[in-house]
Amino acid sequence: MSVQHKKEKSGRNPEQGASQFKQPSNPRVLVQSGQIVAGRVIGFITNERNRSKREGVLIRLENGERALMRANQVGGAYPESRLERFRPNDRVRVEVTVTDEGQRRVKASERMLYFDEVAAQLADGLRNVSGVCVNKNRTGVLVKITTPGPAYNLIGLMHVSNMLESASMQRIQINQNLSVDIVSATVDRQNRLLRLSLASVNPRRQDIEDRFPVGVEVHARIVKVLDDAFELQLKGKELCLLPKTELDNLDPESLGLDVSLKLYVTGVDARGVILLSRTMPL
């Protein structure tokens, strides 16, 4: 019996019947951008010319989706060598950055979570950190932090305003080793950078640390009320900060401007602001 006769006898085309049972080729992507999820390493993306060089990590998320994490999204800012630390079945924690339901594509980042954790540790800055200049332009210098620690392998921006004079930037060369202060960590979706200053041009902070060592008792008056802290001033006009949590057990109405308090120095931040507490530091 011919194939054509079989089709006519059955009243349907076998190929059409089979297509009715095919699963959708593009099932819905279940994760959303910004979602933090766990997963396991299932493979690697390698360079077409050099198969031994990894360019990304393939991850099976806990909900079954497959995600790609590129090299520039692993840990710090220049993490290509860090890709070697991954092994199949390693557990990872990532943030979803891109989802495309049409192409069933998910991209993930470990760097965003890494930076958030580092930024929390650098709330009070970090002094005399080692780094190397990786780029420069008219507005400032980009420095890769090389000191092992919370900012290791991240990039910081040292703006010309954080140098003693504009000529300081002219003397800095690419690949030059530098000693810098980390003033703060900028946490946002566009510019996840460390803000730096030259440690060698911050004599004011050193002077304040020498005059107000940790544990010394001072009297300071309130000059400004911030969202989470009080800004105070000493007789010598030095600025101080006191967290509001330090005064939770006091009457808020008694803490107006020009009120004087007896406090203790707990340190000096990267900006030269004296940090205070109501209790003597250990």
Predicted local confidence at residue 58, as pLDDT: 93
Determine the residue type at 34: G
Q: How far is CA 46 from the centre of its chain?
A: 26
How many other CB atoms are there within 10 angstroms of residue 197's CB atom? Answer: 23
Q: Model's pTM, two decimal places?
A: 0.51
Mean confidence (pLDDT) of the chain: 79
Q: Is 87 exposed, middle or buried (0-12, 13-18, 19+ CB in 10 A)?
A: exposed
Task: List Cβ neighbours of 213 (8 Å cut-off, separation of 6 or more).
Answer: 265
237's CB contacts (< 8 A; 6+ apart) are none
**pLDDT at residue 1, rounded to an integer:** 53
The confidence score (pLDDT) of residue 171 equals: 83
pLDDT for position 202: 62
The pLDDT assigned to 21 comes to: 40
Residues 47-63 have pLDDT tens digits of 777 767 778 899 999 88
pLDDT of residue 73: 82
Segments of the chain scoring below 70 in pLDDT: 1-29, 51, 76-82, 101-104, 164-167, 188-191, 199-203, 270, 281-282
Using an 8 Å Cβ cutoff, are 86 and 41 in contact?
yes
Place of tokens 């390698």: 46
Closest CA to 162 of 224, 130, 205: 205
- Residue from 209, 200, 208 nearest 158 by CA: 200
The residue to which tokens 């002077």 are assigned: 207
| pLDDT of 154 | 84
The answer to whether the CB of 106 falls within 8 A of the CB of 66 is: yes
